[in-house]
Structure 1
């Protein structure tokens, strides 16, 4: 056809379609902003690579820091959050176990749980026999010690007694320190007298031979020989004891034909104090101690009975410039006592502990009921009285 197109319509249409497709797929030249960003990223990568190589040069691998921001789901921040959550779950699991244990302890032993609370000491709530020993007594107690359960045995003769937490033997008698004179009596002289007072208590109440009825020679030798009448009465009581002149008010003695001491320990609790005397040149020592003796019938009896003896000894210390006295001896000013769980002395010179059979056979006492472990109370002239004890 002259002047017309020589290309058929179908061929032209296909040509146009192919040209459009090729134009869409052809590479585009990046814009100036795109080229700037790409160059900056490439520079950062090269800088991190150089830093990594420099670190390895000194034998230390330095990881390259990523230039891209951390993803909120895939980056370390998300991992740390997961780690904290795992730790919280672990902590709550441990707390749950501890809470379960605490509930079990409270259910099985409420007294132990109460001892964890502020002010819930075992001493005030009733201590177990396995509790730690009591601290030394430094002042007059405010009341009787708490009651404890259990019966004494030959292996554990102090079970069920507050004495289970007391110190034993001569070491329980602590001599206080004196730093100044009292009523004109030097500190050195008072310190010497304190030591002699302890020796007298030990010789009178802890010497094993004396406990089995031997003559308390050491104790007698500690008394100032100038106290002739007093010493004469003591020796007479030991040779010919009577109800009125009973040596057990001064010396602890048991009849070895009837009873035997259980174990090797005697529990002791008390204190020594120093006070001014009545006159210038006089100081007074006051020793107040309770001794607990576990006993069984002679010949291997199984039942254990405890006798509690409280001694209050007052010793005067003199200024030698004003008063006569013998060096190395004590001047006994007064001596009081209380013997608990005893068959109300019949004048034979021995303490006679009561066992269950004795308690059933003897009539009820009409005397006052006392707690022999209550060191908060005074003796009030207990010597010569027979009463009932609330516990042994």
Structure 2
């Protein structure tokens, strides 16, 4: 994670920053807002593509103590061990649980199955915050986000594509791994990489950090904790994911990212040792546009779409911060009405969200 200090930027300075970022640039044939409408139409015609920007507000899964809801999975795992122990050993690189074995290589393509489930008794500790989790073998921070080889695409040369890919990863790091942002500060570095000429983006940024709401929630794009209530355990966030790209509309380079972030946390109170994990998976599509065809700023991308799913980060609360739950000593929580999910399963895309009353229904995670 990048090291950052406490933000000293006032609300007035922040609003001035947002206004200046949205200042008019030299005219070009196409405004991003009109382009976004065309992209939205294309996405409606292709339901397997991610939803257009602002077209989908994903539900966040609560399931704070989901590691207790694993009885059937553990039983099935034990049966597999009895029938084919060699296969299970291969899953873990020859170890005895999720924590053992060599670190996984960076992900280069979508896996065909979720990672195996480790023993339910392996609970996280202050010294081993990823104990009992598949993330124990994942890479640290930005190193877990795989980049493909660059090639000339659309309006960009090979070198320009390589730069766009690196900056796309920089955005993910600045949005979800920067120490200051994780402690609740405003994500200036991430915002600087976003095209300021998108009207929806300007409106969103102007409201999200002052008056967070369901529509303007900072957590739609940024991972933040209230440091008066929660603190990270150590200085490592585990990540696993990949970036891909293709030629998009009008010769743009369309970059897609699918990354899972695992945050070990405890209560902010001194002496707290109940370690829980908040897991955030994000699918983000960024367009690096040809400035001759779209109004943009050099070194910035237009946001085309986003999807996210969060385990133990709060559900139906719009405070602008991830709000993990901790063990109260009262046993397992009651299952919620929403679906059951495995937050470590990267073998399928994030399921589309549900609008209306269904948006507030929390799901139950099979593990944390």
TM-score, reference length from structure 2:
0.70
User: Residue 90 of structure 2 is aligned with which of 121, 128, 132?
Assistant: 121
CA distance in 2, matches of 1:144, 1:359: 30
Matched with 2:364 is 388
User: Residue 138 of structure 2 is aligned with which of 166, 182, 188?
Assistant: 166
Matched with 2:192 is 221
The alpha carbon displacement at 1:119 in A equals 9.1
For this pair of structures, how many residues does the alignment match? 280
Change (3 A) 1:220 1:134: same
Matched with 1:296 is 266
CA distance in 2, matches of 1:189, 1:231: 26
Please say which of residues 366-375 and 168-177 is displaced more in the overlay. 168-177
Please say which of residues 308-317 and 373-382 is displaced more in the overlay. 373-382
The alpha carbon displacement at 1:304 in A equals 0.5
Matched with 1:282 is 252
Relative CO higher for 1 or 2, CA cutoff 8 Å, sep ≥ 6? 2
Matched with 2:69 is none
* 1:124–1:145 CA contact under 8 A, matched in 2: no
Change (3 A) 1:118 1:266: closer
CA distance in 2, matches of 1:193, 1:336: 21
Matched with 1:200 is 171
* 1:196–1:330 CA contact under 8 A, matched in 2: no
Task: Report the 3-state secondary structure (helix = DSSP H, G, I; strand = E; otherwise coil) of the residue aligned with 2:209.
Answer: helix
Aligned ranges 1:251-266 → 2 under 5 Å: 251-266=222-237
CA distance in 1, matches of 2:331, 2:283: 32
> Which deviations, in whole Å up to 9, do the C-alpha atoms of 1:164-206 show, x marking residues without a partner?
000001222233221232x444333322211111111111100
User: Residue 314 of structure 2 is aligned with which of 335, 343, 362?
Assistant: 343
The alpha carbon displacement at 1:358 in A equals 8.6
CA distance in 1, matches of 2:286, 2:256: 7
Aligned ranges 1:1-392 → 2 under 5 Å: 121-123=90-92, 127-149=97-119, 150-181=122-153, 183-277=154-248, 279-299=249-269, 300-357=271-328, 363-382=334-353, 384=359, 386-392=362-368
Task: Report the 3-state secondary structure (helix = DSSP H, G, I; strand = E; otherwise coil) of the residue aligned with 2:192.
Answer: helix
* 1:145–1:374 CA contact under 8 A, matched in 2: yes
Change (3 A) 1:281 1:273: same
CA distance in 1, matches of 2:145, 2:252: 23
CA distance in 2, matches of 1:254, 1:164: 22
Change (3 A) 1:360 1:231: farther
> Which deviations, in whole Å up to 9, do the C-alpha atoms of 1:216-246 show, x marking residues without a partner?
1111111112124313212311110113321
Q: RMSD of the alignment, in Å?
A: 2.7
Change (3 A) 1:324 1:189: farther
CA distance in 1, matches of 2:234, 2:316: 25
CA distance in 2, matches of 1:118, 1:361: 31
Give the structure with the larger helix fraction.
Answer: 1
The gaps in structure 1 that reach 5 residues or longer are 1-109
The alpha carbon displacement at 1:138 in A equals 0.7
* 1:212–1:255 CA contact under 8 A, matched in 2: yes
TM-score, reference length from structure 1:
0.66
The gaps in structure 2 that reach 5 residues or longer are 1-79
Task: Report the 3-state secondary structure (helix = DSSP H, G, I; strand = E; otherwise coil) of the residue aligned with 2:328.
Answer: helix
* 2:278–2:311 CA contact under 8 A, matched in 1: yes
